Amino acid sequence: MAVVNRIAFIGNSLPRRCGIATFTTDLQSAVAASRGDLETVIVAMTDHGQVYDYPSTVGFEINDDRPDDYLRAAEYLNSGGFEAVSLQHEFGIFGGDAGSRIMTLLSRLTIPIVTTLHTVLSEPTKAQRDVIAGIVEASSKVVVMAEKGRELLRSIYQVADEKIEIIPHGIPEFAFVEPDAAKTKLGFSNKSVILTFGLLSPNKGIDVMIDAMPSILKTRPDAVYVVLGATHPNLVRDQGETYRESLVAHARQAGVADHVVFLDQFVDQKTLLEFISMSDVYVTPYLNEAQMTSGTLAYSFGLGKAVVSTKYWHARELLADGRGILVPFGDAAALGVEIAKLLTNDVLRQAMRKRAYSSSRSMTWERTAERYMSVFENAGRRHRLKTIARSDTSTLLRDSRAPPEMQIGHFLSMCDDTGLFQHAVHSVPDRAHGYCIDDNARALLLACALNNPGEQRLSEVLTARFAAFVQHAWNPDAQRFRNFMGYNRCWLEDKGSEDSHGRTLWALGVCALTDANLSRRSWAASLFSEALAAAEGFRSPRAWAFVLLGLDAYCTAVTDDVRATRLRTLLADRLISIFDAVATDGWVWFEEGLAYDNARLPQALIVTGIASKTSRYVATGLKSLRWLVTRQTSAKGQFRPVGTAGFGDRRQPPQAFDQQPLEAAATIAACLAAWRADHDVDWKAEAARVFAWFLGSNDLSVSLVDLETGSCRDGLHPDRANENRGGESVVSYLLGLSEIREIARLSESRAKPAPLVA
């Protein structure tokens, strides 16, 4: 991961009165406190016609109706040494149609962008959809605060799951206390206090709660409903205090004026926490289901309050499983019944309070800042893949052809309801040789790769089939994966090789991080953890490398697995150790010979070094890969993978044949990992040279690929191509193609001039 030392937050800022301002300020403060050497500033959005006395944490101010301010903000950020930008997005805070002016800024940034979407609409207008699409494209990561947000981004906006992070709304660290002391301090002694706080507006449903008060007072005559908060500034600007006055009149007409207290205040956090602390029940009677996030709900929940709420999206998730009570929208009778029940049953109320407080500990601002920092640092890593120099990116392939389209017809024909066949006779699946975990693990890797933007995902049924093959291959008695299966679905062994086990862990790790299905990600992480223990005793360097590639993804998805972190260091150190023992000036390698999937060894060290910030790993990976590249280059300058006839003995002269697609896919991936590590554009050129091998830039000048079906021949013999087109070959080609296509897409998007949005 890239170390981030200077971060800018774009959003509203206190003292502007709104939830986004509070959130942005709280997040900036929490992130700043997470590390002593971290520098943070806020780029504050100012609504037109307003002036705010911003604190010193605001480094730049954008007036939402001034296009030039967005341009100057981009210059300020690009030239200010910032290493990440955190955008707080809400449609109403940016100028232009649906807030489109923000794209003037984002399209010019050369810094990784992490966007927090405070609203995700299920029925966006075309303008709103276009703005979100632009923001997602510009962002390295998109953060939402609830699973519903992820669901909508995937289904409505077609955002790749790997680009989405869920980080719940932060909450202050506050002790679990009884309300009596705060009641005494605030003047509500001997009262049963029901609280709502936040900016007043008609969609908050406060009138419904007022209607519920008469039934509550029948069982709790001491009940008082405290409405804490100023009227929303936009409402005041348009209508003055008409809305607040209407609520006061409503309470009077309902006969509960003496039991409803309106406090027209926008309070600081210390005062707010005292008010929450004194409440017996917190209520959010909102009228709109499409409420993705409620900071007021999060804060009250985090202080261990018994909460009654309508069934808007955020409340459904946060209050599930007895952590609160949900009632229908606009139903005063239901509100009254549930609140009265809590106020008259101390045992029920205390149990709910304890469940809420206990389950909210992971939401404190300290924990939230840690999660955001992890996203910022990973965004820096992803950003390196997107910041390709424009002068060098008119095309990726040397012959100026765009990468081929992703055609998976042959791949699909090689699959049945068990999984991916091992072999084919010409292009016809060969049932005689059945299946293996190696190929189905590679197929699962391909399914994850096709979740990227610009690609067509595999069907859910097919991806689930590869996962099922992996699950069925797991032998819990042996604590290993089986490898070979006959066409009759009978396993041919109790356990497979170390390499096949390592490759399966690799696929599981990637699945745990990037699969489109949340449940399957959880499954992959769980099985990865269970199967990881065996890897510590492995002796195969390739198995170590495969496991390290899996750990690179798994440790990003599961950040608190200490055992996985320890094993990652152990295996990387083993690769370093054998390299030090074998390598000489003329033989810059880990073993006494070259074999298959050679480039995976340096790739594993490079990605591990980037993630763990260990320069020795990266340096050794780059050094060995440079040497391997020279060994895999013919006199004509074409890619020539190590032939199978020359595997295993450095004393033999290198053999040119047979050449296999597996080596090309591995080398492409390793070269692009190297490019991400040191930004040397020669690595991209090398990846393009290797990919051209598939298309005919090879010793026989024969294309291995049928571009219409996506099939790939099994390799090159000395005098001809191998006409069989098995599972390993097609997946190797498609994996290599997916990486080349991703680089080309990002290059093209960066090469286009950004429009100036007026």
CA angle 377, 381, 384 (to 5 degrees): 135
Q: What is the pLDDT of residues 480-536, one digit of tens each?
A: 999 999 999 999 999 999 999 999 999 999 999 999 999 999 999 999 999 999 999
- The per-residue pLDDT for 288 is 86
Q: What percentage of the chain carries pLDDT values higher than 70? A: 95
The confidence band for 757, taking pLDDT boundaries of 50, 70 and 90, is: very low
What's residue 215's pLDDT? 96
Residue intervals in the chain for CATH 1.50.10.10: 388-751
Strands (E), 21-134: 39-46, 58-63, 84-89, 113-117
Q: How many angstroms separate the CA atoms of 737 and 675, rounded?
A: 17
Tell whether the model's pLDDT for residue 398 goes beyond 60.
no
3-state percent helix, strand, coil for the chain, nearest multiple of 5 = 50, 15, 35
**pLDDT value of residue 637:** 85
What three-state secondary structure class fits 664? helix
Q: What is the pLDDT of residues 24-66, one digit of tens each?
A: 999 999 999 999 899 999 999 999 889 999 999 999 999 999 9
d(CA 228, CA 601): 61
Tell me the pLDDT tens digit for each residue of 338-349: 999 999 999 999
Mean pLDDT value across residues 387-403:
42
Enumerate long-range contacts of 415-421, CB under 8 Å, 24 or more apart.
Answer: 415/443, 415/462, 415/465, 417/465, 418/465, 418/469, 418/485, 418/489, 419/443, 419/465, 419/466, 419/468, 419/469, 420/466, 420/469, 420/727, 420/731, 421/726, 421/727
Which pLDDT score, from 0 to 100, does residue 2 have?
Answer: 58
Q: How far apart are CA 11 and CA 2, in angstroms?
A: 24
pLDDT at res. 316: 92
Contacts of 585 (CB under 8 A, 6+ apart): none
pLDDT of residue 688: 93
Residue 550 has pLDDT above 90, yes or no: yes
pLDDT at position 195: 96
**pLDDT at position 269:** 85
Dump pLDDT digits (tens) for 734-747. 999 999 998 877 66
Choices 1.10.3720.10, 3.30.70.260, 3.30.9.80, 1.50.10.10: CATH for 388-751: 1.50.10.10
- Specify the pLDDT at position 396: 40
CB hemisphere CA count around 722 (13 angstroms): 20
Q: Model confidence at 247, in pLDDT bands (50, 70, 90)?
A: very high
pLDDT per residue as tens digits for the range 637-694: 899 998 888 777 676 667 889 999 999 999 999 999 999 898 888 898 899 999 999 9
The CATH architecture that domain 6-170+366-380 belongs to is 3-Layer(aba) Sandwich (3.40)
Residue, of 413 and 636, whose pLDDT is higher:
413
Smallest CA-to-CA distance from 183 within 215, 222, 230 is with: 222
Task: Show the DSSP H helices in 387-497 as ranges.
Answer: 409-413, 437-449, 460-473
Q: Which residue has the tokens 């924990």?
A: 367
Two tokens, residue 519: 């449940």
CATH level 2 (architecture), domain 180-363: 3-Layer(aba) Sandwich (3.40)
pLDDT of residue 499: 96
Tokens of 496: 């497979």
The DSSP secondary-structure symbol of 394 reads: S
pLDDT, one tens digit per residue, over 133-183 is 999 988 999 999 999 999 999 999 999 888 899 999 999 999 999 999 999
Burial track 435-463 (b if 16+ CB lie within 10 A, e otherwise): bbbbbbbbbbbbbbbbbbeebebbeeebb
pLDDT tens figures, 616-639 = 999 999 999 999 999 999 878 899
The yes-or-no verdict on residue 399 having pLDDT over 70 is no
pLDDT over 80 (residue 719): yes
Tell me the C-alpha distance between 521 and 689, whole Å: 34
pLDDT at 758: 32
Mean pLDDT of the chain: 91
> In the predicted model, is pLDDT for residue 384 greater than 60?
no
* Mode of pairing for the β-strands spanning 113-117 and 84-89: parallel
If you average pLDDT over residues 419-424, what whole number do you get?
Answer: 97
Domain with CATH 3.40.50.2000 in the chain: 6-170+366-380, 180-363
> pLDDT category, 387, cuts 50, 70, 90?
very low
**Residue among 46, 32, 91 nearest 233 (CA):** 46
Pick from 92, 79, 33: nearest CA to 57: 33
- Mean pLDDT to the nearest integer, 587-593: 94
Does residue 756 register a pLDDT over 90? no
